[in-house]
Structure 1
Amino acid sequence: MNQLNPGEEAVGRLFPNFATDPDLYLYRIEPIQGTASVMVMDEAAYNAARFMNKDIVSLDTLGANIPLFRVTEYAQARTAPARPVHFILHPSHTGSTLVSRLLDATGTTLGVREPWPLISLAELQDDLGTKHSVVSEQDYGILRDSLVTVWSRVFRPETTGVVKATSHAGRAVPDILRTHAASRAISLTLQPEAFITALLARQNPIRELLGFSIERMKRFQRRFGDLAQPVHAMTPGEHAALAWLVERQVEHDVLTARETKDRVIDVDFDTFLDRPAEELGRIANHLQLGATDAAVEAAATGPLMSQYSKAAGQSFTPQMRRALMEETRQVRGGDIARGMAWLEQIAKTSPAAAALLG
């Protein structure tokens, strides 16, 4: 008789409550293979996770691979109405991890930071209706709705699931908002020059930007036309400008669309840092979290505001960020200027791009 390993045994014990309880985190989906990976996570593990992708897997992880249809089957069979799940949209490096952690600190949310299946969903959405799509529109809708149900699960009834999208996976969120009327979102942003500076402040920005620019350029061409040089010819500042333009378009779409505009608010991260308690309260109120003024104030004035949100215990204050931004402007001013010139040139020939630049 085959004996189950500890991970399979734990999954088997928890899976009957999969549709309602978050103890089994849906770590990954593989639509082509028709499999899903689930792992055991308690509330403390959710709260500690920086990104909920391969970073959270360790040698001690308890989990198993299961048929993907089991995920959709259980999610569809949920008898009680699913709770709303809300979203944080952002173009990267606009404080999304900090805001997610601050919301958790108010005691009213369960943050799901950058779930890997959302990236897979975005990739599937890109191909819908094409000959090479591996899922039908009907099956895509079932998977999308099942994932929303999974992200809506919480440990405590007074909390609400809030998904912080990976920046380039945010393109899947507009469709989720259109098809789930109870879901709301915040749109984190920076002004173009500040955003380009923030991205170029990294030690080796081109390493991060180049891979994402391949997919972003495809979206750029679909939305704005054949107006830019190829990815290989772009400078670091231009890569950063491309990221701002393409991801800001996603935010603009939900901020202006008739079906979603009343459920999304825009939040400038520099403004947030100037008055964190006020802006955090505005976010909590918009998401209808029921956070008290005292809880918001405690979160906004607590230790999270002086730490690097992606590395617990590492000091990083708003003052340190401002100093880093000014140093980057001094050191990489030419790259920043080239990024801004790229945006201005695109705006001259694209009314859609001009609208984003205001």
Structure 2
Amino acid sequence: MSSLPPPSTEEIARDARWLVQALDPASQGVRLIAMDEEAYRTASFLDDRMLQAPRDFRVVPWVRIADSVPRIGRTDARWIFHIGHVGSTLIARLLGELTGVLSVREPRFLRDVAVLPSEHRGEFSKAAPALFSRTFRSGQLALVKATSFVSEIATELMGETRRAIFMYATAPQYIASILAGPASLQELAAYASSREKRSAGRIFGLPADLPTQAHQAAAAWACEMSSLEAAAEVLKADQVRWMDFDRALEDLRGALETSSQFFGFDASAEEIDGIATGPLTRRYSKAVEHGYTPALRREVIAEAAQERARDISDALAMLEDAAQESPLLARALQRSTSEA
């Protein structure tokens, strides 16, 4: 942290240099991190993992942030909400390569706000659209990719006019992708309790004891998909575009083109072609130093699907049974089936 004075409200409001990165609700303190366009472009995530490298940051009282919001004068950020492990980082990275787009991937602030009780988060969620609409240049638009569970407050962040892509995978693909990776299985266990709480009131009929990891992954899919379905139920139809990631990979150029049109990004066919065939499509989007291709992804998922076929089949049957009592889950399964 620098010993220099914290930025003024005018400096915070002026552009995206000072990322509103984290919130401590107890102290009403906010961590601001100094960023330039290249820092946004290269950071996979804007949560505390970004602090592994030296950063110029300041902690300021929330009131200073709140005072800056009326000066920003825009709330036109575009959004990506997703169920996790469905290529949202890749799509956000690729769209962020467009000349007029600033891609803002998973700022911790949104996570901090999402876990607050509804009676305590209003002032923060109302300020977020303005704070994350700041860019560096005239005509530049912000694209914000939230962490998966931030979908719980998607409607608060989107209001009645802002647009979002809702990214998902079909239930069989999602379950197999979770089973395919040790890290995703660790995350599955870590989030099990919080997902159970989030699902309460939306998902009914799941057994208290989930017998296999496939069943646990199916329950996770139900939680995350029902969160998106609940948001879509409230939002206007023209505010949301659903994206099945596996289908998007089959025609990445088309997916980027339709996404750009939906968001109103100014992108030429040549620019989209270059991005859709560029090096980022052959790298692991969460750590671009590692290679990872769509073909390898399909191979890894197919292997897990074959090895755990019986468990996956039983887990899907569990979802079908629960859907009899859970309208949002029934809608998610219908979407999964109709677009599979």
Q: Same fold (TM over 0.5)?
A: yes
3-state SS of the aligned residue for 1:57? helix
Deviations 1:276-296 (A, max 9, x none): 111110001000111122111
Distance, in Å, in 2 between the alignment partners of 1:194 and 1:233 is 19
- What's the CA shift string for 1:206-233, capped at 9, x where partnerless? 32112222121112222134x2233x64
The whole-number CA distance in structure 2 between the counterparts of 1:357 and 1:38 is 41
- Which amino acid is the alignment partner of residue 59 of structure 2? N
Match of 2:338 in 1: none
Q: 2:318 aligns with which of 330, 342, 346?
A: 342
Aligned CA distance change for structure 1 residues 357 and 68 (closer, same or farther; 3 Å): same
Residue equivalent to 1:17: 11
Farther off after superposition, 292-301 or 347-356: 347-356
CA distance in 2, matches of 1:278, 1:82: 29
Alpha-carbon distance in structure 2 between the residues aligned to 1:205 and 1:13: 39
Give 2:67's aligned residue.
Answer: 73
Provide, for residues 182-213 of structure 1, a one-character-per-residue CA deviation record: whole Å limited to 9, x for no partner: x2100111111011111111125432112222
Pairs within 5 Å for 1:198-277: 198-225=177-204, 227-230=205-208, 233-257=210-234, 259-277=235-253
Structure 2: which 5+ runs fail to align? 335-340
Does the CA contact (< 8 Å) of 1:119 and 1:169 recur in 2? yes
**1:1-358 pair list within 5 angstroms:** 7-9=2-4, 12-13=6-7, 16-58=10-52, 60-76=54-70, 78=71, 81-124=73-116, 127-129=117-119, 135=120, 140-177=121-158, 179=159, 181=161, 183-225=162-204, 227-230=205-208, 233-257=210-234, 259-358=235-334
Q: d(CA) in 1 for partners of 2:261 and 2:54? A: 39
- Describe the shift of the 1:58–1:350 C-alpha distance in structure 2 as closer, same or farther (beyond 3 A): closer
Inter-partner Cα distance in structure 2 for 1:38 and 1:343: 42
Which consecutive aligned stretches of 4+ in structure 1 deviate over 6 angstroms post-superposition?
none
Q: Quote the sequence identity (%).
A: 28
**Closer, same or farther in 2 for the Cα pair 1:14/1:301, shift >3 Å?**
farther
| Distance in 2, Cα, partners of 1:121 & 1:234 | 33
Contact 2:9–2:64 under 8 Å retained in 1? no
The CA RMSD measured in Å over matched residues stands at 1.9
Q: Distance in 2 between matches of 1:198 and 1:113?
A: 22
| AA aligned opposite 2:131 | V
Contact 2:165 2:243 in 1 (8 A): yes
Q: CA deviation at 1:160?
A: 1.0
Partner Cα distance (1:14, 1:70) in 2: 8
What are the superposed Cα offsets for residues 2-48 of structure 1, whole Å, 9 maximum, x if unpaired?
Answer: xxxx7141x53565310131111111101121111111111111111
What secondary structure sits across from 1:84 in the alignment?
coil
Shift of 1:246: 1.7
Q: Distance in 1 between matches of 2:252 and 2:331?
A: 28
SS of equivalent to 2:200: helix
| Shift in Å, 1:330 | 2.4
The runs of 5 or more residues in structure 1 that have no matched partner are: 1-5, 130-134
Give TM-score scaled by structure 2 length: 0.92
CA contact (8 A) 1:14 1:24 kept: no
CA distance 1:128–1:60, shift in 2 (3 Å): closer
